[in-house]
Every structure is written in C-alpha cells, then in structure tokens.
C-alpha cells in the first residue's frame, strides 16, 4: 500500500506539470533511440489503427477518446511484431523505445502504474523466456532425451508458477485499470474462483471489452471446471457409432480437444498413450479425444488416429459446437471430468508426460 501511495504522489507532481489538452484529448509522444522501422502503428482495437512516420527519432499520435481508460497497442508493423500494451486516456502519454530496454511508458496516471507493474514482472518474464528456450533446445535435440526434456520442463514449470504468483499478488494490490491489463494473460488458465475474484475486483470497468472477456471466461469455468456437471455431448466415432460423454459415467475422463494439423496436439499423443496404458484399468481412467476437423479432413483424421496409435475413444465434432461450449480458444486443451460427470480442471497447451501426470494426480489417486 505504501508503494501505491508513493506512486500516486509522484503522479500528482508529474500531472501538475503536464500541459493541458482539450477534454478527452490525448497525445502519444514517442522517443526512439533505435528505429527498427520507418513507421509506427497505434492500434486502438475495435476503433482505429493509425500509422505515422518516424521523423528524427520521434513519432506522435493525437486523437480523442470517448471511453477511457482502455487498452491499446503501440509498436512497429508486421513482420517485426515489436509492440507494447498501453493504456489510452486523456493527457500526454510519453513512450520511449530502445533495443536494450524495449518500450517504457509514462506521462499519464494509468501508464505510470502499468510501467511500474511491467518492471516488477520483467525479471521473472526474462526467466520464463530463458527456461522456455532451455526446454525447447533439449526438445529439438536428436535423438531426443526424455529425461532431459522432463528436467527442463520442471524448471520452466517452476519459473512460470513464480511469475503467476507474483502477477496475482500485484493484481490484488492494484484495483485499477493497469491491474486489469496484467490480469489478461492469466485468464485462459485460471480457476473459476480466481476468475470470480477478478470479476469483482475490476467491476468498475464492466463496460470494457477486456472485462467482458474475463466475465465470459468466468461463466465458462463455472459450467465446465468448477465441480459441476459438464455439458453433455453425442458425436460419431470413426466407425460411425454415436458416443456420449454420459456413457463413461463412473470413470475419470480426460477430454482432449485437437485437430489433425495441430503440431503440439500430435506431439502430446505419445504421452497420452503412456498415461492411458498405466491408468485405464488401475485408475478407472478413459480419454475421449474430440477432433474439430472439418468433413474435408475426415480421412486424414482417421489416418492420424491409426498412425499415432491413439487407441482410446475418438469422436469428431466438425461444427466445433462442444469446444465453443467449453470455451476452448487454443489446441491442445484438455478438461478433466470426475466419475460423477463434474468438470474439475482445464489444462491448456502441450505438456511433457511428467508434467501432465503431476496435474492429473492432483485429482486422480
């Protein structure tokens, strides 16, 4: 709290020295030490996208904002994809860029707070990048060592957890729009209870699209992973027989959402094979892989199942109805359903076998 009060004190001094603009007007002043492109792009999502030339290491954007604060981006155009998140609000927003330090924000209240949060998170973000590169390096080695991959995976798991824990701490200390901004990367993987806290914590921004996204994810989590009966489905298997989730009542079921051209979905399959072989009888465990492949890829779907050796239950939902019901926004994504048919955990993205076993073992004894 003392830290937050100190920031507000600095804000008062800075803002008292800031030239006045017209009501709801903003000016973004960018100073560049390095210029990887000749233009900059200011993307005010859902509203406008402005491009200006860089002249003598400077770029400026001006405009009027009706609803504020709101999240926008600033950076260099494709293919560089170097950009930063920024909060648009009335006043003079100051931005600097250098190759060594990246973007740094200031000038207006929320951007000063956001920059402070970025600086708190940066050391762990850098650690996450190093840990991820370390895992990626051993993963790509041929022949690949499963032991090395597992060891590197554990390191990146630990670093990501520390970053997530710090982010949650900073969110709780910042019931402001900057706090909402750093919440967004967590939303896909958070539990219903965490999402419920964010919904209440940032309620003053209920008109904002980002807040609405958190609200939507909370509603999805409530019906799919909060210990309540999950939505039923009935889809055809490769033999054309109709399979329902309720057919497996009394078993632990891992719903695996995938498609043929999903690289990491296919890389996950060998881990699922090993877990399935160990657990299908001893732990009353079943996997149902829900493919979202369209009819044109039907034969490729069948070939992939046979080629990969995925011998558990396979169904096809070529309309993506069920993934939409479950709020699946990327693949692979898995949902663990308990023997009573209640959803208990969402697992997003590729996992090494040991990592996936650790997650599932939190629920399956």
CATH 3.40.30.10 in the chain, residue ranges: 234-361
Kind of pairing between the strands at 252-258 and 242-244 = unpaired
CATH class for the domain made up of 234-361: alpha beta
pLDDT computed for residue 71 by the predictor: 96
Extended strands (E) in the chain: 25-32, 39-44, 48-53, 58-64, 70-75, 83-88, 91-98, 102-106, 234-236, 242-244, 252-258, 285-291, 313-316, 333-337, 343-348
Distance, in Å, from the CA atom of 116 to the CA atom of 140, rounded to the nearest integer, reads 36
Query: pLDDT tens string for the chain (365 positions)?
Result: 445 444 554 454 444 444 577 788 999 999 999 999 999 999 988 788 999 999 999 999 999 988 899 999 999 998 888 999 999 999 999 999 999 999 999 999 999 999 999 999 999 999 999 999 999 999 999 999 999 999 999 999 999 999 999 999 999 999 999 999 999 999 999 999 999 999 999 999 999 999 999 999 999 999 899 999 998 999 999 999 999 999 999 999 999 999 999 999 999 999 999 999 999 999 999 999 999 999 999 999 999 999 999 999 999 999 888 888 888 989 999 999 999 999 999 999 999 999 999 999 999 98
pLDDT computed for residue 191 by the predictor: 93
Distance of CA 205 to the CA centre of its chain: 20
CATH 2.60.40.1120 in the chain, residue ranges: 19-106
Long-range Cβ contact pairs of 130-136 (< 8 A, separation 24 or more)? 131/155, 131/156, 131/159, 131/160, 132/156
The answer to whether the beta carbons of residues 54 and 40 sit under 8 Å apart is yes
Paired with 32 in beta bridges are: 97
pLDDT computed for residue 2 by the predictor: 44
pLDDT computed for residue 5 by the predictor: 47
pLDDT computed for residue 7 by the predictor: 53
Check whether domain 19-106 has CATH 2.130.10.10, yes or no = no
Total number of residues shown for the chain: 365
pLDDT computed for residue 67 by the predictor: 86
Phi, psi at 357, each rounded to 5°? -60, -40
Q: Which residues contact 140 (CB under 8 A, 6 or more apart)?
A: none
The answer to whether the beta carbons of residues 140 and 176 sit under 8 Å apart is no
């Amino acid at each position: 709290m003392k830290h937050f009060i100190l920031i507000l004190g600095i804000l008062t001094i800075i803002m008292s020295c800031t030239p006045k603009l017209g009501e709801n007007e903003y000016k973004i002043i960018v100073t560049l030490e390095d210029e990887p492109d000749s233009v900059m792009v200011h993307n005010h999502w859902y509203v406008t996208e402005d491009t200006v030339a860089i002249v003598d290491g400077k770029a400026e954007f001006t405009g009027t904002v009706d609803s504020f604060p709101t999240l926008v981006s600033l950076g260099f155009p494709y293919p560089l994809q170097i950009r930063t998140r920024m909060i648009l609000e009335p006043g003079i927003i100051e931005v600097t860029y250098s190759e060594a330090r990246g973007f740094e924000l200031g000038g207006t209240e929320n951007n000063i707070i956001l920059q402070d949060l970025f600086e708190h998170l940066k050391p762990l973000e850098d650690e996450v990048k190093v840990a991820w590169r370390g895992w990626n390096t051993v993963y790509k080695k041929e022949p690949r060592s499963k032991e090395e991959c597992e060891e590197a995976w554990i390191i990146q798991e630990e670093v990501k957890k520390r970053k997530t824990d710090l982010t949650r701490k900073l969110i709780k200390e910042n019931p402001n729009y900057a706090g909402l901004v750093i919440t967004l990367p967590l939303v896909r993987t958070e539990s219903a209870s965490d999402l419920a806290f964010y919904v209440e914590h940032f309620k003053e921004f209920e008109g904002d699209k980002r807040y609405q996204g958190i609200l939507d994810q909370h509603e999805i989590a409530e019906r799919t992973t909060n210990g309540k009966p999950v939505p039923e489905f009935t889809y055809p298997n490769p033999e054309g027989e109709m399979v329902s989730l309720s057919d497996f009542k009394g078993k632990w079921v891992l719903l695996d959402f995938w498609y043929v051209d999903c690289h990491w979905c296919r890389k996950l399959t060998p881990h699922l094979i090993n877990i399935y072989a160990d657990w299908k009888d001893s732990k009353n465990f079943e996997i149902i892989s829900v493919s979202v492949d369209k009819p044109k890829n039907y034969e490729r779907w069948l070939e992939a199942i046979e080629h990969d050796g995925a011998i558990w239950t396979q169904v096809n939902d070529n309309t993506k109805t069920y993934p939409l019901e479950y709020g699946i926004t990327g693949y692979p994504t898995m949902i663990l359903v308990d023997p009573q048919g209640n959803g208990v955990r969402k697992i997003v993205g590729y996992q090494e076998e040991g990592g996936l076993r650790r997650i599932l073992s939190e629920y399956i004894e």
